[in-house]
Structure 1
């Protein structure tokens, strides 16, 4: 299909910047598709992407957490024709107090698989698609911190906290902010080929397919109030992680019978004590892996995770990665890259000068 000037139609990518709290929500995907279009043109492929970042409201203005205002050229009301890919980037948690978004939701209600080839969300944008009914009965993901809230607010949605992005039919959802880049690269590869997607990923210094799962980033346990049985139990267990622990020992510290403690603990935390202890051990091991060069065998011993084989099995179960891979991905950045020693040497040189 060609335009009136003889040039091929480009795929229209509409990115709705719902909030300026996280600029990467919409800037990341925009950079992926814009750079993909340039790569395609260099290969004499002219039916690439026409990227438009639009505002959800008619004033076309977006206030950002970086204390600058972004004036979009267009609002969603200006987009009336067919869209190749519609991306809802982020979500403004103040939306309940913004009646100006009513028109946006009316517009979004007109979008379906007949006039929009793909509909996607980034991070909290899943809540926008959910409110519009687009995620009803579908699988979806969102930021790990918000996944439980999404599941409770919209029980018809099958929420999966692990993947960086998911697909259900023509609807795609992605997890945390940077996951919008993961999803966008996958869509470029879907549209053209792996080589184009790899070229874009290299230019952005980003993985084409990032290793691991979103669950690696979040805490395995929620934050409890100080007097909550989970927090009181955690306070005692933290000092005894390297010891073999029985439920009756923990119950004794809580001044409760084993049976009553188990019942109350499960009711208040949603998990049995043994699973809680295992998660605490993994959290402690994560800190060692992130912040120290302590050998894996010693970490397993300090955290009560048994030997290397046992610790590896437990990490795979909870984080979908091995302890050694986790250390490579999450250890302190400055120490890993050599920048720390460079900064120190420059500081010494400055003192001499």
Structure 2
């Protein structure tokens, strides 16, 4: 079983988290059955960007990185406190450990900023939120990131994307990396994303 750690900071954007829960969940129930997702939070109760409460299955202090095969990180809003948690040392340390073990890291929108702040994107290509005059993309550069203004950027084991519209594509790319292209196409089909 391939286990995905869905890393949630307070103020995360619910839609960006839900694509991982759905794609990995659909694969577990109707795809090749090889994936499982575990929600992990910076605290035992989290507030989403748009004000509903989520109780993760685990908190960061309970995580053993060796138990997981991939890390998924949704972005969030500064106004909702996302960066307070996402820039915490314990959050950044989890990212570093996944990268040190060459495990997949998939981030959506501004979730690439804590990935960059952790140091693992230094000298690598990545993207972040592309609208609002590219302010968030510009924030990547001081971390040594080669900023690319494309919907999805993959550099070795790290996937970044540039806004919420890319969320399902990131989740499917992660599923493909964890299973196979054929299985991913099948899950897309049964979820209605593909006619093939």
Q: Would the TM-score normalized by the shorter structure come out above 0.5?
A: yes
* Separation (CA, whole Å) in 2 of partners of 1:141 and 1:86: 17
* Separation (CA, whole Å) in 2 of partners of 1:131 and 1:89: 15
Q: 1:147 to 1:159 in 2, by over 3 A?
A: farther
SS at match of 1:50: strand
Among 14, 18, 22, the alignment partner of 1:31 is 22
Q: 1:189 to 1:96 in 2, by over 3 A?
A: closer
Among 119, 127, 131, the alignment partner of 1:133 is 119
Q: Which residue of 2 aligns with 1:87?
A: 72
Q: Is the 8 A contact 1:39 1:199 kept in 2?
A: no
- Equivalent positions of 1:231-310 (< 5 A) are none
Whether 1:75 and 2:55 are equivalent positions in the alignment is no
CA deviation profile, 1:171-211 (whole Å, cap 9, x unmatched) = 11122124121022123233433342223223333359xxx
* Separation (CA, whole Å) in 2 of partners of 1:40 and 1:199: 7
Bigger CA radius of gyration? 1
Structure 1: unaligned runs, 5 residues or longer: 1-9, 209-353
Among 71, 83, 88, the alignment partner of 1:101 is 88
Q: What is the root-mean-square deviation of aligned Cα atoms in Å?
A: 2.7
- 1:144 Cα deviation (Å)? 1.4
SS at match of 1:154: helix
SS at match of 1:188: helix
- 1:109 Cα deviation (Å)? 3.4
CA deviation profile, 1:291-319 (whole Å, cap 9, x unmatched) = xxxxxxxxxxxxxxxxxxxxxxxxxxxxx
Q: 1:28 to 1:127 in 2, by over 3 A?
A: same
Whether 1:190 and 2:190 are equivalent positions in the alignment is no
Q: Report the TM-score, using the length of structure 2 for normalisation.
A: 0.82
- 1:147 Cα deviation (Å)? 7.6
Among 144, 155, 158, the alignment partner of 2:130 is 144
Higher strand proportion (structure 1 or 2)? 2
Q: Which residue of 1 aligns with 2:48?
A: 64
* Separation (CA, whole Å) in 2 of partners of 1:136 and 1:71: 33
Aligned length: 190
Q: Report the TM-score, using the length of structure 1 for normalisation.
A: 0.48
Q: Is the 8 A contact 1:150 1:159 kept in 2?
A: no
Q: 1:92 to 1:131 in 2, by over 3 A?
A: farther
Q: Is the 8 A contact 1:141 1:147 kept in 2?
A: no
- 1:25 Cα deviation (Å)? 0.9
Q: Which has the higher contact order (CA 8 A, sep 6+)?
A: 2
- 1:150 Cα deviation (Å)? 3.7
SS at match of 1:161: coil
Among 153, 161, 167, the alignment partner of 1:166 is 153
* Separation (CA, whole Å) in 1 of partners of 2:27 and 2:133: 31
